[in-house]
């Protein structure tokens, strides 16, 4: 049998690492081509990895919970029948354990359906073709076996737990595993060493989460939370942002929705308030294209888009994600409703692909579903505007010269003041409010 190793592939969008969430296979399992073998969490989504080969799982190199770099091996398969590499008699050939087909992996990309990952440690050194009968031994230098100062030591969750229980600082232990991984054997050898320096022992104050009844909990910053934090800091500290607010009587829109829902056969195409506001936004963009734009600092240009790729901010158990409806301005109300519903369901299930969360030109965030009247949304990096939709409140409102109970909501528009002037932002949000307050007025805007 030939042993084939599979490395974490490049999942796109500039992602350089992923956390292995779970294995769907075990050592010894027979897998089919494209069978799902693992789930990994990137900074943007939960991604399923299909098997690149048909064969038997011979080794799992990574445990769940470990963050893996693109190009780092994660699993090995026994595939097909071993091919003879020479005509020499068996007695003259050295007896070696099944090895990776180095020539094949060095010269060709793996048959990976979700992208090709760079070979680990191959960026600066070309791979040599293995010659028949010669076994190549990889020698790992001491400098690579130690964790670089300042970096979080790499270890699996069980090893980290062991270190916490024994009061050991992992940063003080040289890792002998793959790419400097600190193994259980490393921890045990460190503890068995005579006169272990006291400075290497972690105090209870340094690990509050490991102490029963601790008053603090430390949560690793990774995955969607890390990506969201990076995006929000980049947006807040590189873009001059301003926000305008508008409170409108949405009663006519709510009445329209009742009529539309009654006349729609399928649940998927039944529009909601967010659908109507999304459509109103797409219509309003035609009069104020400045909001559907991006600031290109490198080229010193403002890029105005002739299409609307509408981002919909979605709260999920994994954190905030903003998947995109491409060419939303070309969709009718029913198609837009179906797209929003499908997008939300996929996001909540953690199945939104990295590609689906890229390429947005303007965003909507529905804070009203949480009972919030208004907010000051932060721009998605690379976009010039984001619209926040507040909760619908039944409250007294002036109507036709009298006071009546009406359905009222507040809209908030944050914008990049380098790209959008205050007058343009005011016109844009006023056009959306006009449609919400009087859906028939859309005739005057198209």
Active-site amino acid positions: 417
The two beta strands, 393-399 and 402-416, are antiparallel
Q: What is the phi-psi region of residue 89: left when phi exceeds 0, alpha when psi lies from -120 to 50, beta otherwise?
A: beta
Spatial distance between the Cα atoms of 40 and 37, rounded to a whole number of angstroms: 10
- CB-CB contact of 387 with 231 (8 Å): no
Helix 422-437 × helix 273-287 angle, to 10°? 140
Matching residue, tokens 């991984």: 181
Q: Where does 71-113 have alpha helices with state H?
A: 102-107
Spatial distance between the Cα atoms of 420 and 270, rounded to a whole number of angstroms: 34
Q: Where does 263-379 have alpha helices with state H?
A: 273-287, 333-348
DSSP assigned state of 155? B
- CB-CB contact of 239 with 416 (8 Å): yes
Helix 333-348 × helix 273-287 angle, to 10°? 120
**Considering Cα of 50, then 61, then 56, then 25, what sign does the dihedral take?**
negative
Extract the runs of DSSP E, i.e. beta strands, from 176-323: 241-249, 293-296, 301-304, 310-316, 319-321
- CB-CB contact of 184 with 158 (8 Å): yes
Give the largest CA-CA distance in the chain.
103
Helix (H) or strand (E) segment spanning residue 426: helix 422-437
Residue 221's CB: how many other CB atoms inside 10 A? 10
- Closest by CA to 389, choosing from 285, 242, 279, is 279
- Closest by CA to 74, choosing from 30, 21, 129, is 21
End-to-end CA distance of the chain: 67
Spatial distance between the Cα atoms of 288 and 291, rounded to a whole number of angstroms: 6
Cross-strand pairs, 314: 321
């Amino acid at each position: 049998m030939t042993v084939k190793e599979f490395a974490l592939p490049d999942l796109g969008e500039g992602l350089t690492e992923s956390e292995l969430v779970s294995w769907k296979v075990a050592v010894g399992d027979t897998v089919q081509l494209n069978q799902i073998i693992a789930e990994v969490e990137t900074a943007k989504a939960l991604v399923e990895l299909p098997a690149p080969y048909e064969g038997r799982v011979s080794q799992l190199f990574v445990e769940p919970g470990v963050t893996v770099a693109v190009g780092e091996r994660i699993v090995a398969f026994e595939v097909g029948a071993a091919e003879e590499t020479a005509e020499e008699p068996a007695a003259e050939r050295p007896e070696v354990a099944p090895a990776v087909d180095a020539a094949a992996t060095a010269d060709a990309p793996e048959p990976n359906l979700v992208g090709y990952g760079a070979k680990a440690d191959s960026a600066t050194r070309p791979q040599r073709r293995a010659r028949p009968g010669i076994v190549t031994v990889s020698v790992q230098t001491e400098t690579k076996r130690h964790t670089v100062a300042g970096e979080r030591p790499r270890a699996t969750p069980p090893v980290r737990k062991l270190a916490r229980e024994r009061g050991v600082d992992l940063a003080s232990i040289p890792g002998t595993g793959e790419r400097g991984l600190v193994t259980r054997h490393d921890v045990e050898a460190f503890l068995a060493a005579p006169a272990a320096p006291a400075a290497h022992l972690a105090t209870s104050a340094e690990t509050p989460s490991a102490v029963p009844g601790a008053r603090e909990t430390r949560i690793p910053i990774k995955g969607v939370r890390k990506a969201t934090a990076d995006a929000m800091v980049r947006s807040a500290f590189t873009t001059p942002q301003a926000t305008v607010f508008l409170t409108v009587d949405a009663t006519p829109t709510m009445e329209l929705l009742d009529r539309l829902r009654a006349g729609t056969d399928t649940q998927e195409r039944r529009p909601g308030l967010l659908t109507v506001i999304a459509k109103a936004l797409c219509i309003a963009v035609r009069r104020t294209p400045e909001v559907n734009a991006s600031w290109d600092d490198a080229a010193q240009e403002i890029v105005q888009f002739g299409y609307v790729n509408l981002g919909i901010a979605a709260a999920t158990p994994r954190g905030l994600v903003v998947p995109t409806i491409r060419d939303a301005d070309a969709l009718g109300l029913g198609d837009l409703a179906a797209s929003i519903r499908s997008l939300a369901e996929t996001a909540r299930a953690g199945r939104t692909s990295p590609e689906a969360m890229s390429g947005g030109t303007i965003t909507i965030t529905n804070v009203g579903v949480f009972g919030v009247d208004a907010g000051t949304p932060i721009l998605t990096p690379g976009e010039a505007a984001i619209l926040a939709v507040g909760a619908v409140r039944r409250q007294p409102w002036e109507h036709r010269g009298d006071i009546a109970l009406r359905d009222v909501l507040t809209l908030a528009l944050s914008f990049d003041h380098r790209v959008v002037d205050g007058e343009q932002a005011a016109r844009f949000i006023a056009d959306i409010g006009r449609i919400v307050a009087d859906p028939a007025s859309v005739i005057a805007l198209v």
